[in-house]
Amino acid sequence: MPPQAALPVRRHTIGSFLRLLAHLLADGDTAKFVVAVLTGQYNGQQASIEALENRIYDAEDPDDPDDITLYPYKTSFDVDSALGISDDICIVGEPIAFYVVPKFSHSLRKSVGLTRRVEIGGTWAAADWIADFKVGTHVGLHEVPNFLFAHWGMRNEIIIFFPGRYKAGERDGYKMDIADIATFFESVTRPALQEAVPALRASNLPPTYEAELWRLRSENGQVAGSARMLSEEVVAKLAGNLRGVLEDAIAAGSPLHWARGFFFVHQVRGVKDANVYPPTGAAGAIDRFIENNHISAEAVTSYPNNWYFDAGVEISSASSDDSLAWRADSHTAILRDVFWIPEGHAVRMTKTGSTSYYKDPVSHLTEVAGCRITPGIRGRGPLGIVKLQAYQTDKAVTAAVVGQGSYHAKRVKLKQVMEDRDGGPIDLLFAVYEESRKKKVVSNARLEVRVPYAVREEVHRAMQGVNWRKYLVAIPYDNWWNLRTYSIIAYKAIAGTHASAKLGDRTNINALGLLMMVVWLTNSLHATPDTGPSSRELLNIVLPRRPRTEITEMTLPFRLARAHQGRSDGVENEFAENRDPAEPGENRPVREEEEESSDEDTDADEDEIAYGPGHFFGMMFMSGLVWDDGCSIPKIPGRTTHALKGGPFRHFAEMQYDEFCDLAYDGMLFRPRTQKRTRNKTQQRPVVLDEGESIPTIFDIKNGSREITRPAWQGGRINREDRNDQEKVTRNEFLSEIYRQLCVDAISLSPCPKGKPHGYVKIDNAHFSKVTIDVFKDRNPGKVLRTARMCRGDDKDWELAFKHLLPSKGELKAGDAQNYPKCAYYKMWGHYMAQIGTGSVIETARTAFKDQFLADIAWFPWAKPGRLWESNSKVLPSSKSTFTSPGLGAKVPAPWILTRQHCIWKANEKWTPGGTVTIAPGEDDED
């Protein structure tokens, strides 16, 4: 699409643009204010922000860091973090806290810039011979299965890795199977601790992993974290004991060969403020850091290339009135001038097209940006830098807590913006910005480099005596925060129009596209912008466009074409074997490219596009938006864009566009829901297992070990497109997953009485995904239901009910059935039948399912042709054995259940994932 006609450009400094916004806001013309914030357009003009007017150094200035006639600033230095790989636990003079049940959120899940050599085994087969082989390859540490083994100090962790469980191409390769963790504890760690701990003090260790898991699980099903202290004497010999016990177990026949070669990563994180030193105190800074954190100096000096440290410098304004920030055009110069990286490599590594380079604009200013760089082997320079980060210290104000998710910063979601709830995430973010302005909080410019221990002194010397003015701008603190608060005010105004608009406008894809952009912009105010494929699709639509020949490095929002085979962007293949030699006996870590986005869509091939999007006016301005007297709600201009309904909408809304519209028109999307009512009119989604959780395989049908393709889900629907990367699963395993999902769906789709704040089901909504067949094995339905009508079913009743629950081939119900097509298990069963194809094989599986089901249950919803649950007050023939829950009136509707065994009713009991709890009468009925 060619660009629109250009408006006359008016140049603004940061300060003059903010004064313009303040004037528009004071005039009370919300639409003009919002348009100016998001597009820079006002009074028929286009604002262009000249952020470099705030630079503090010009080419004619003396290149003297100590010149008092130039802008005054201060520097301080520190050691922030450490990463060390070792076969031993290298903590001395300090106890550690060991986890029987690890905190899975603390596994190493993302790249830290280092790799490890692992061996991948296989088998060559020919007509007359078979041979096993192993191939060594370097993989990212985060791709090797691992879990948190122990911690020491305040924030320091020891993570154990098992390269023997590495599988090439495995998504979420860091995950350890819970059975392996349990086996390693029971067969290796527990006996090793019993050997190491004196005087039988290890006798109080749990006998099994499952016993400890039971102890830690609370009544609401949550697992508490708990660690056991191990003395420094035990720590000193623990790794050796683990290896000795492991070999003994293998020799005795235990199938633990996969555990051989385990190693530890020691991680010290985020301690920069505890390790600050002045410019004159660089000598020995890292050695003091090692001592203060109780890391074995011998381990570090023996293998200096296995230990990496983050050396940092922080530059602040001497006046305390300005925030100092990195110039976007300084990144190449920093690599070249400060860290002596050759010009060619420095230029190559700081191009937007380089996969080793991520630019981090400040408050949407394209000329003010930090960066993250992970050099290849040739680009590391004489200091061997494997990672460099230049960023702002105010990121700490909005940083996410470890374990809260996969993002480094707090984020808002599309759903939260749509709700426009007072006191919601946008309001809270505004309050953070506004209070920071009132308290005159300033942001410092910070630079960190990750280097091997061997160059510890050189890196600190490199960062001293630098004239940092050349790389910085100074922005007054009030302007710094007003850039963000004015943006949030505009975003809040857009969200407010949606909250009060009619449904047709709220589901308009152009209006939703603007909301998606609001989400993207909000999160980009304080975090690196998401440039994953779906975000790129959105930006391609909403940003101004120019001929690609006119798009410069500074205005480029993301890489416009995919990297070609052969890595034409110039980034080295970090997994090649021709790497520089390591010391004898080492498995030297090397750099691994970082994963930047959780968005897994595929790239579009844009090589031949004549026009491209860009940030042409100094800020991340949109090309325009429509909001005038003829438009009740702001929208992206132009015709409805079908592309937004695909990847972008799924990415931002976490559901399909059609599913979103269904929820909206069902009245389930835009009104706050009572948490005790079930969502029985929405598409049910498959169970997402907790980390380490697995579904037991309970079926053993003929040929059940054969594999089928696991379906790919998009929201509550199965994606029918063929994909090469779809996971395989055995027939027995998938049938077991359907069995579990049936139990979850049965509870999730239970009916709700009219006019009541809760459903018929007692189970908390948050626990629905934890439901298993055990719920229906229990002879007390009163643990689950508030009220019910019950019928003792005969074989004919159960045969007919099961026919509805799990139909034979060709009998799946279509959309006219109330519940079944919405059930995830029902779709999974359809997928199973489609994968198998053969009717007799399908019927064998169905029979096995029925036999298992009828053998397990004491009761179940009375499935009917059109619905999984039926709720009414009708009277059945006298030939049927029926009864009701105590106190249920004759004409009061209630859900019907079929029973196979004699059931009891105890209303004072309630099912939870942690077991049965006793409740007071009426306690669970409170709104």
Whether residue 420 is predicted with pLDDT greater than 90 in this model: the reply is: no
pLDDT of residue 74: 94
Whether residue 926 is predicted with pLDDT greater than 60 in this model: the reply is: no
Whether residue 236 is predicted with pLDDT greater than 80 in this model: the reply is: yes
Q: How far apart are alpha carbons 594 and 114 in whole angstroms?
A: 10
Torsion of CA 545, 550, 552, 556, to 10 degrees: 20
pLDDT of residue 136: 75
Section 868-896 average pLDDT:
88
According to DSSP, the residues that pair with 86 across neighbouring strands are 264
Lowest mean pLDDT among 268-272, 374-378, 645-649: 268-272
Section 2-25 average pLDDT:
88
CB neighbours of 380 closer than 8 A, spacing ≥ 6?
A: 341, 386, 591
Whether residue 601 is predicted with pLDDT greater than 50 in this model: the reply is: no
Mean pLDDT score of the chain, rounded to an integer?
83
Band (pLDDT 50/70/90 cuts) for residue 562 is very low
409 phi and psi angles, rounded to 5 deg: -125, 155
Task: Measure the N-to-C terminal CA separation of the chain; round to a whole number of Å.
Answer: 53
CB neighbours of 845 closer than 8 A, spacing ≥ 6?
A: 699, 701, 731, 735, 832, 836
378 phi and psi angles, rounded to 5 deg: -75, -20
Q: How far apart are alpha carbons 203 and 201 in whole angstroms?
A: 5
More confident residue, 783 or 199: 783
Structure tokens at 829: 């069963």
Cβ atoms of 663 and 673 closer than 8 Å: no
pLDDT of residue 594: 35
DSSP-derived pairing of the beta strands 387-392 and 276-277: unpaired
Q: What is the pLDDT of residues 751-794, one digit of tens each?
A: 888 766 678 899 888 788 899 999 999 999 999 999 999 999 99
- Closest residue by Cα to residue 448 from 272, 266, 305, 596: 272
Whether residue 137 is predicted with pLDDT greater than 90 in this model: the reply is: no
Q: How far apart are alpha carbons 524 and 409 in whole angstroms?
A: 10
Section 594-598 average pLDDT:
35
Lowest mean pLDDT among 381-385, 452-456, 500-504, 850-854: 500-504
pLDDT of residue 630: 62
Whether residue 667 is predicted with pLDDT greater than 70 in this model: the reply is: no
C-alpha distances (whole Å) from 485 to each of 332, 352, 427, 431, 635 are: 31, 28, 10, 9, 22
More confident residue, 416 or 9: 9
SS3 content of the chain, % helix, strand, coil (to 5): 35, 20, 45
Band (pLDDT 50/70/90 cuts) for residue 222 is confident
pLDDT of residue 558: 84
Above pLDDT 70, what percent of the chain?
84
Q: How far apart are alpha carbons 672 and 654 in whole angstroms?
A: 18
pLDDT of residue 483: 96
CB neighbours of 609 closer than 8 A, spacing ≥ 6?
A: 548, 560
More confident residue, 926 or 746: 746
pLDDT of residue 568: 33
Above pLDDT 90, what percent of the chain?
47
More confident residue, 146 or 415: 146
Residue that is written with structure tokens 């169905």 in the block: 846
Band (pLDDT 50/70/90 cuts) for residue 875 is confident
For the chain, the C-alpha Rg in angstroms (whole number) is 31
Cβ atoms of 480 and 363 closer than 8 Å: yes
Q: What is the pLDDT of residues 146-180, one digit of tens each?
A: 999 999 988 899 999 999 999 887 778 899 999 99
Q: Indicate the residue type of 102.
A: P
Kind and range of the H or E element at 286? Answer: helix 285-292
Sign of the torsion formed by the C-alpha atoms of 370, 375, 380 and 383:
positive
Band (pLDDT 50/70/90 cuts) for residue 123 is very low
Whether residue 665 is predicted with pLDDT greater than 80 in this model: the reply is: no
pLDDT of residue 842: 93
CB neighbours of 700 closer than 8 A, spacing ≥ 6?
A: 732
pLDDT of residue 587: 39
What is the value of pTM for the model shown?
0.68
Whether residue 595 is predicted with pLDDT greater than 60 in this model: the reply is: no
